Chain A
Amino acid sequence: MPATPMSKAEREQGDARVFDLSLHSLRELNQALHKLTPGSNETAWEVLNPKGSHSVAVGVDQPVSIDVRGSVGYYCAGMNDGAAITVHGSAGPGVGENMMSGSIVIKGDASQYAGATGRGGLLVIEGNASSRCGISMKGIDIVVHGNIGHMSAFMAQSGNLVVLGDAGDALGDSIYEARLFVRGKVESLGADCIAKEMRPEHIELLQGLLDKAGVTGVKASEFKRYGSARKLYNFNIDNADAY
C-alpha cells in the first residue's frame, strides 16, 4: 500500500501505526493488516474515525494489537486469528464472528449475534450484548459484563459464555456441549437447556475466565451454570407419531 504520511496523532503514539478511516479507505486498512507476516515489527495499530464502518479489522491472522477509537458497524474483527483487538466504543451486528484465536474487547455494547460460530479466543463485551449472543459457538469464550438478549447460545456447541448480568428469553435453545454461566436472572431457558450443578471444576474454570477477562469484585460462586439436558441428542421413538 502507498506510504501513509505520519499524522500528529501517529507521532504521539510512538510506534503504533495509526490509520485514520476519514482519510483512508477501509479496504486499505484491511489489506495492510492482511499483509502482515510473522515477526513483523508493526505490532501495534490504532484505527481512528471508524464511525460505524463495517468489517473493520476482519481476517487478521497475526498477533498484533489493534485499538479502534470509536464505534463500529457490522462484522468487526470477524475471523480474528491471534490479534488483540479493542473497540473503544460499541459494535454492530456480528462482532467477532467465527473468531479462531486471540482476543476482542468491546468497551461499549455489542449488537446481535456477537461471537457467532466462534471457534476459539476470548470475546469480552464490557457493556450489554443483544440477541443471539454466542449463537452456534464452537469453542470461543465470551464474557459479557452486562446483559444478553434473547436466543443467546442457540445451538451452542462448545466453549463458555459468561454473563455478569441477566439473560433474555430462550437461553441455550438446542444447546450441545457449551457451558453457560449467568450471574443474574434468566428470562427463560430454551429447549433442552437446564440449570446444572456448579461443581468445583466449574468454579475453577469460571474463575479462570473472569481473571482472563479482567473482571474483578465478582466471585465465581455467584453464578449459575446452564447446559444441555442431552434429550435432543437421540431420536425419541415415542415421538415417531409426530412425523
Chain B
Amino acid sequence: MCGIVGLFLKDKALEPKLGAMLSEMLVSLSDRGPDSAGIAIYGAATGNEAKITVQSPKADRDFRGLDAELAKAIGAPVSVAVNSTHAVIRTTPDKVDAAREALQTLRPDIRIMGAGEAVEIYKEVGLPETVVDRFHVRSMTGTHGIGHTRMATESAVTTMGAHPFSTGADQCLVHNGSLSNHNNVRRELIRDGMKFETENDTEVAAAYLSNRMAHGKNLGEALEGTLSDLDGFFTFVVGTKNGFGVVRDPIACKPAVMAETDQYVAFGSEYRALTKLPGIDNARVWEPEPATVYFWEH
C-alpha cells in the first residue's frame, strides 16, 4: 500500500516548522505502511557547502574520528554531525566524489543515503513515529520535503529498501505502487553508467529520473518520460534542490490528494495527511490527474 507525503513551502515563515508539519503528515498515514519510513528534507543551499547523508549499522564505531580521517583523505575540511544511525558530512562541493570514494575504504559498512547542497535523507525500519523521533525530524527546518511510509512488496524490509531513494545530487523520490519492468530498465541504466545499491523497483525509478536529468532534461520532462518508459503502478513524489514534482501512472489507482494555499503546496496519499495543515479548510484541494506532470519550483 505505502503512504507518501510532500510539502513545498511558499511562505518563509513556515520554514522553521517544516519538519514538524511533514512529521505530522507522515505519522497520520502510519497504517498505510508500518515496515519502514523515511524523510528527505531540503534546506537552503549556500553554494559553498555540500552535504552527504550517510548511514551505518554500527554508527558508534563508524562515525568516531571520521571527520579527521576523511579530511585527511580528501585534503579538504570536513565536519560530521551524527544523528542516530545517520550522519551528515559537510565538505566543499568539489570534494563530494572524492569523499564518496574515500568512504568506501575508510568505512566500508557506511551506506550513502544521498548527497547534494540542500538535501538530507533519513530512513530506517520502523513506524513513522519511531523514525521521526529517532532523527528528531520535528525540529528540522527547511524549504520543502518529502516522506514515505512503506508496506514492502518488491524487495526486503531493510534500511536500504526504505524510501526516499536518491540517485543524483539533491534528487530523491518516494513511490506508492510497484513497477513491473524495473529489471529491464535497471539493466539499461547500468549500461549507461548508473549505479544501484538494491534490487528495489523504486530505486530504478529514481535512477531513471536522475539519468534523464543528467542527459539535459528538466524535472518536468524527466517525469513525463516515466509515463512511457516505466510500466506498473505508481504515484511518484520527487524532490530536487529547489522544487517538488508529482506524477501518477495513466491507470492512477494509487491514491493522491493535493492542497494549495498562499503558504504551501502539499501532497498526501490521503486527505487524512493534510487535515492538520494551517488553513486547510480554505485550501484548494484536488486529486492530481492521471498521466499529468505537476511541479513547483522556488
A-side residues, CB < 8 A to B, are 51-53, 71, 73-74, 90, 92-93, 109, 111-112, 130-131, 149-150
Contact = CB atoms under 8 A, between A and B. Distances in A.
Contacts of B290: 131, 149-150
5 contacts: A111-B255, A112-B252, A131-B252, A131-B290, A150-B290
A92 B255 contact: yes
B255 A52 contact: no
Contacts of A52: 270-275
A112 B275 contact: no
B285 A112 contact: no
Given A92-B255, A93-B255, A131-B252, A109 B286 contact: yes
Contacts of B270: 52, 73-74, 92
Contact of A109 (B273, B287, B289): B287
Given A74-B270, A111-B257, A112-B253, 11 more contacts: A51-B272, A52-B274, A71-B271, A73-B271, A90-B285, A92-B270, A92-B271, A130-B287, A131-B252, A149-B289, A150-B250
Interface of B: 250, 252-253, 255, 257, 270-275, 285-287, 289-290
User: By DSSP majority rule, is chain B's interface helix, strand, loop, or mixed?
Assistant: loop
A53 B271 CA distance: 9
A175 B272 CA distance: 34
A93 B257 CA distance: 11
A111 B287 CA distance: 7
In the A-B complex, the 8 residue pairs with the smallest Cβ-Cβ separation, listed nearest first, are A52-B272, A52-B271, A51-B275, A130-B287, A71-B271, A73-B270, A52-B275, A73-B272
A150 B289 CA distance: 10
Contacts of B271: 52, 71, 73, 90, 92
A32 to B, nearest CB: 22
B248 to A, nearest CB: 10
Contacts of B274: 52
Contacts of A149: 252, 289-290
B191 to A, nearest CB: 35
A110 B273 CA distance: 17
Contacts of A92: 255, 270-271
Nearest to A110: B287
Nearest to B255: A93
A73 B29 CA distance: 12
B4 to A, nearest CB: 15
Contacts of A90: 271, 285
A112 B286 CA distance: 12
